[in-house]
Structure 1
C-alpha cells in the first residue's frame, strides 16, 4: 500500500468517529466518504474522514438531507476549506441562535406591558436586523429568500 498520510480501516474510523461501520458503509455508498482501495481491495479511509463525519453530523442537526450534505461536502472539497473551521462556525451559529431564541422568549412577556405603538418603536431595529439575518440564513442554506 503506497498511501500518503494516515489511513484508517473501517472499524478504526467507526470507533474514532463514534458511528457504526454500517453508517460508514452507507455514507460510502452515497459518496459522502471516499475510501482508497488497497491492492487487495480493502477500503482505507483518510484521517480527514473523521472531520467529514463530524461535519455530516453537524449538518444533519441542521435538518439537511444527505443529498444536500453531499453537495456541501463537494463544495468544501473544491474550495479546500478546513472542515474543522466550518464545523466550528456551524456549531457557533447553533449556539448563537439558541441564545437568541432564549432572549426572545424572555422578552416576550415583558413587552405585554406596552401598547402596540411602543412595541413597534422598540422592536423596529430588531425587525430590520431580523430580516437581514433571515436573508443571510436563506442564502447560506441555499434557499431563495425572494420566493
Structure 2
C-alpha cells in the first residue's frame, strides 16, 4: 500500500470533490505537502481524518463544528457531539411528523373538494370571522395572481402552502364586474387557521351568498350574474366586493375541467 496519495486519487476513493479537499486544507483540517512537481500529496496516516469528516458530514454536522471536534478529541467531547446529534435528530423527527400531518390534511382537502359537491347551486350561509393574509393589487392576468401569492408568502415567511390548500383566493373589483369585466381583481388573500397569531385582516362574520362551480374561470361571469339576480329577488343587499376561492386550481391539476371554485358574496338579509 502506498504511503502517499495525490488529490485526484483521494477525490476518487472518497467521492469528495477537489474543491472540498482544498477547503478542508484552507480550514487547516488537512495538511497535504507538495512533491517535487508541485502536486498535493496526502499521507496515508491522515486518511482517518477523511473517514471521520465523511461520517460527521453524513450526520449533518457543519464543518466549523467538525474542525472544533478534530482539534480537541476525547471521549467526553465524542459523547457530547453524538448527544447533540440525537437532539437534532429528535427535532427533525418532530418537524417531519408535523410536515406529514400537514400533507395528509392537504390530501384530505383535495379529496373533500371533489366529493359531495353541490355544484352550481346558490345558497345563503352564515360564516364566522376569518383571519387572513391579504395583499392589495390590481390583477389582470393569472400570472400576476401567482406572483402576488408568492410575494405574500415571502412577506409572511411562508406561513401558508399552496398545493392542496382550499383557502387561497382573490377579491373581485365590483366596479369592473358592473362593467361586465370579470377577470380583474383588487387583492389576493389566504384564509388562516383560527389559532394563527400572525394575520393582517379579519374578514367579518355574517351571511354570504355562495356558489361552487367546476371548470374554467371564464364561467364566473354567468355565475356572478345568477348570484346578483338571486340577491335582487331575495331583497338582499350586497355589502362588499365578492370573493373567489380556489378549491382546486392549476397547482393541483393541469386539466381546466377539474378546477373547482367557490364564489362568496357578503350580504345583508334584513
Greater helix fraction, Structure 1 or Structure 2: 1
Common topology (TM > 0.5): no
TM-score (norm 2): 0.26
TM-score (norm 1): 0.44
Greater strand fraction, Structure 1 or Structure 2: 2
